[in-house]
Amino acid sequence: MSPTQPSYQVTDPATGEVLKTFPFATDAEIESAIAGAHTAFTAWRNRSLEERAAVVKRVAELFGERAQELAKLSQQEMGKAYDEGKEESEFSQAIFDYYATQGPRLGADQTIPTSSDTGGTAVVERRPVGPVLGIMPWNFPTYQIARFAAPNLVLGNTVILKHAESVPQVALAVEQIMKDAGVPEGAYVNVFATHDQIETIIADQRVQGVSLTGSERAGAVVAQLAGKYLKKCVLELGGSDPMVVLDTDDVAKLAATAWDFRVYNNGQVCNSNKRMIVMDSVYDEFVAQLTEKAQAIDASAHAPMSSRRAAESIDEQVQEAVGRGATLHAGGVLGEGPAAHYSPGVLTGVTPQMRAYSEELFGPVAVVYKVSSEDEAVELANATRFGLGGSVFSVDTERAKRIARRLDVGMTNVNTPAGEAAELPFGGTKSSGFGRELGPLGFDEFCNKRLTYIAD
């Protein structure tokens, strides 16, 4: 595996200008990071869970205090709208606060009732395992760190964090928050690692697991390495989430909800509603409402995508679909380079012969399909190799729940595009990966659930 660019660098997607560069870590620096995380683990694991939670509580407070700074860095590095960046930092604060508050409960011993034949006392103890590696993406540069680092730090693991090459300033700012909050030296360390050095870290016997959020390709490589070196891994990969609209008494309102969720973070969201599957009774008005939303956007004022390459990729998918007969109702215009502007669009008439049917569209394009029955809606919703999330809308909640139960996904949502909160587990099935982050399930991923049995 080779690096995707010659260094970690800040490229302003609004202009295409390279503003700063950061060198890759040396092999000696990688060894120092692993050794430091291993040494810190010995002391960190021996502090009480309540002590660790208190430190993580301070991390949460600093995320809140520095939300504006982090938002500005995200805006500069990957084009995120300032308000969305600030909201992301506040969500990150909520995640650290959740684990700081709930950690003592989540980490408590669990007594297992024994039979009269077995006798004795059986207890499951949740114990840390050691240093763990997190490989994080650029699209939510603070939130992705929070949902990996928060539960592991509270549990007593130490964290080695390898961020995306395009967001080095955010990576360093989060590392500084950890230091300022009192996380011990080595218990959280940022590394500007190359792809080859990632294998070095995973292979090291001192490292006990790896979590990656990213593409299918990256997930396959990391899963292969984790298997080779017998390490636990968690993968959160791509998604092509269906949003099934069965009926509504307010098409305009529901279309606005769908549009806002689809263009949030410029559509660069794993669990975005990338396929809107709409019953024929409301389809025409639904598409018209989305088209009106797209036409109302001032492309010159709209935030850029994360990079020129990201904008070109979504444009290629859309243009290929249009070339094969799909209809682009509005938007979908690639701005002049080297900036990364792309106007949000509405696409219909997508068929299985088109890339847009089977590939993840990681950009602000609402793809809408027409169906005429519940069975057809479910069949289309499940006709994907992805299985992250999905949503179902109906004025009849029981009807929506019945259809939601038939979706092959890790997260189903009824009458909302996505249920998102620090306490709600996040993760998928099929090619969307495996394992869970956030909530109580996220606490257990890199945890030794050790049985202690005491005979009578």
Are 169 and 10 spatial neighbours (Cβ–Cβ below 8 Å)? yes
Say whether 233 is catalytic.
no
- Spot the catalytic one: 199, 270, 360, 437: 270
Query: Considering 77, 199, 236, 437, which one is annotated as catalytic?
Result: 236
Active site residue 65: no
- Residue 292: partners with Cβ closer than 8 Å, 6 or more residues away: none
Is-contact 438 426, C-beta < 8 A? Answer: yes
Q: Please, are residues 231 and 134 in contact by the beta-carbon 8 Å criterion?
A: no
Give the strand pairing for 275-279 and 242-245. parallel
Q: Active-site residues: which are they?
A: 236, 270
